[in-house]
Structure 1
Amino acid sequence: MRLPVSYLGGIPLTGPRAHHIDQTYQRIAADNPARRRAVGPATIRLAHAMFKTALGDAVRQRMVPFNAAEAVELPEYTRPEVEPWGAEEVGAFLDEAATDRLSVMWELIGLHGMRRGEACGATWTGLDDTRSVLTIFRQITDSGGDPGVWAPKTRSGKRKVGLDATTLGALLAHRATQDIERERLGPTWCNGTLPNEHGDPVELSELMFTRPDGRYLDPS
């Protein structure tokens, strides 16, 4: 709902018509060149579905006489097929990334199925090195070019990732390297602050994977 509401501006709840909503999506697309990350048709469709649901609720509560979003026709869109890498391709990539500062992060993504946002939001407090389990309590998202920190997309609000001995060892070695980086920078080391799904600021800490200055990584 954030995209349509921000573009519809001061139009009251009873005011939106189909052409207002259609023009809103056209303006969103027109503003893409100025964004760090373009808003694609999939995001527009998700926003439209949420907007239509909200107006439908307003109709049932007799706040508006009709659902203007139902009269808006979105362009045809087919989600592109994703071709996952095979074992040889993953292996070749990890071989190339072995000397990268974030090599173990690529390993978690490539071999353990972690999402980009989960890897960026992973914390040392979630690592149980005795049981070789990494629990993801939050993920860093990038919605429409605005990063935020949200709970993982699971019913419990957290996700457990089992680790093999090699990955666990690489993580512990990465922690030792990060400790050296943090000590070198001293008080200037900072993970940063991001808004949560409610817009409240969250001060990040104990991030596993960061920029060299300690700041969080953007999943894009």
Structure 2
Amino acid sequence: METFLIPHLGQLILGDLTGRQLNAAFAQIAVTRNRAGQPQTACTLHHVHTTLRAALNAAVREGLISDNPARRVELPARDHPQTLVWTEARVAEWKATGTRPTVAVWTAAQLAAFLDYVRDDSLYPLWWLIALRGLRRGEAAGLRWADVDLHEGQLAVVRQRTTAGYDVIEGPPKSTASRRTVALDKHTVQVLRQHRTRQQDRRTRRLAAGKVCHDGGYVFTGPDGLPLHPGYLTQRLRLLVDRAGLPPIRLHDLRHGAATLAHAAGADMKTIQDQLGHATIRLTADTYTTVLPTAARDAAEATATYLIAASKPGAEVTQQINR
């Protein structure tokens, strides 16, 4: 609001606002520069437009205007980078040239190597939880023990810790669909049980030593018991990945990978959609379910086997009988 909308639209009268004025304003916004000195991306423009459209929809509901002119704003198409898997060939190219995909996920073997490397890291349960169950960064940072049921093997996503600049904002999940219950397997339950025991032991030792240790009920905290800054999680993962010698991924790519692994393990799209908290199954299918090489090869082999079998004498009659 303060960076884009007020400077470009704040002087206009709400009742006189037109689609032409909004298109002119967005054209001006598009040529401004972001913090990296680059022109504003299409994604940024769409986020600004979503905020404006929501505000004007509220004005329509309150009877201040009769129509929402934001509906007539023309924006550039957003680029949705394809999620790629760190195959051996891509890893070799990255090591030789430094070139890396915009969005990339590890193979199951690479993820297993990472989790084995960070087994003694204090945030191992967090890396495991995001990598296996696909929580968002803010959802993991805001998770409380009150929302984790280790007896039933599930957790409820009811809050998140997000950032605005460096400031942390804690509130409800990003959408209604994001409020969800996530099933936990037996191994994940065991990881969290052990984590809770270590956390309680650490708190007891600090208090016995006369040190401050807060008890806000958060699952993942610093040594003083305070919840973690979401930005720290991003920085910590980058450091650990570099030390492990693995191809680089972002923290959000662990979430991509969780969906990919679930898909490769046989989970259907609806189950993955519910697990990730997506509003539509199309978003799940288009964005998060990159097929891992092994699953793709299995599908290719099955297709070829079916075709070869169909080409054998009498195969067509056999198929008709089997039906």
Same fold? TM cut 0.5: yes
In the alignment, what sits opposite 1:23? Answer: 28
C-alpha deviations, 1:142-197, integer Å up to 9, x for none? 35665322323454773222222222122122112222333416674348xxxxxx
In the alignment, what sits opposite 1:213? Answer: 224
In the alignment, what sits opposite 2:118? Answer: 97
In the alignment, what sits opposite 1:88? Answer: 109
In the alignment, what sits opposite 1:77? Answer: 78
Q: 1:144 to 1:176 in 2, by over 3 A?
A: same
Q: Secondary structure at the match of 2:161?
A: strand
Opposite residue 69 of structure 2, the aligned amino acid is N
In the alignment, what sits opposite 2:163? Answer: 142
TM-score by length of 2: 0.51
Asked if the contact 1:52–1:70 (Cα under 8 Å) also holds between the matched residues in 2, the reply is: no
Higher alpha-carbon Rg: 2
Asked if the contact 2:42–2:77 (Cα under 8 Å) also holds between the matched residues in 1, the reply is: no
C-alpha deviations, 1:68-109, integer Å up to 9, x for none? 7845x5445312122333321221111111111100111111
The 5-angstrom pairing of residues 33-182 of structure 1 reads 33=36, 41-52=42-53, 54-55=55-56, 61=63, 63=65, 67=69, 70=72, 74-83=75-84, 84-142=105-163, 146-153=167-174, 155=176, 158-182=179-203
Asked if the contact 2:9–2:25 (Cα under 8 Å) also holds between the matched residues in 1, the reply is: no
Asked if the contact 2:147–2:157 (Cα under 8 Å) also holds between the matched residues in 1, the reply is: yes
- Structure 2 stretches of 5 or more lacking a match? 85-104, 232-323
Work out the percentage of aligned pairs sharing the same amino acid. 32
C-alpha deviations, 1:36-77, integer Å up to 9, x for none? xxx854233122133245447758957499837845x54453
1:4 aligned to 2:4?
Answer: yes
Q: Secondary structure at the match of 1:214?
A: coil
Deviation at 1:124, TM superposition (A): 0.7
Q: Secondary structure at the match of 2:112?
A: helix
- Structure 1 stretches of 5 or more lacking a match? 192-204
Q: 1:33 to 1:174 in 2, by over 3 A?
A: same
C-alpha deviations, 1:190-219, integer Å up to 9, x for none? 48xxxxxxxxxxxxx311112233332233
Alignment partners' CA distance in 1, 2:47 and 2:134: 24
Number of equivalenced pairs: 200
Asked if the contact 2:5–2:48 (Cα under 8 Å) also holds between the matched residues in 1, the reply is: no
Deviation at 1:110, TM superposition (A): 0.9
Alignment partners' CA distance in 2, 1:162 and 1:68: 40
Higher helix fraction (1 or 2): 2
CA RMSD of aligned residues (A): 3.6
Asked if the contact 1:55–1:69 (Cα under 8 Å) also holds between the matched residues in 2, the reply is: no
Alignment partners' CA distance in 1, 2:127 and 2:25: 44
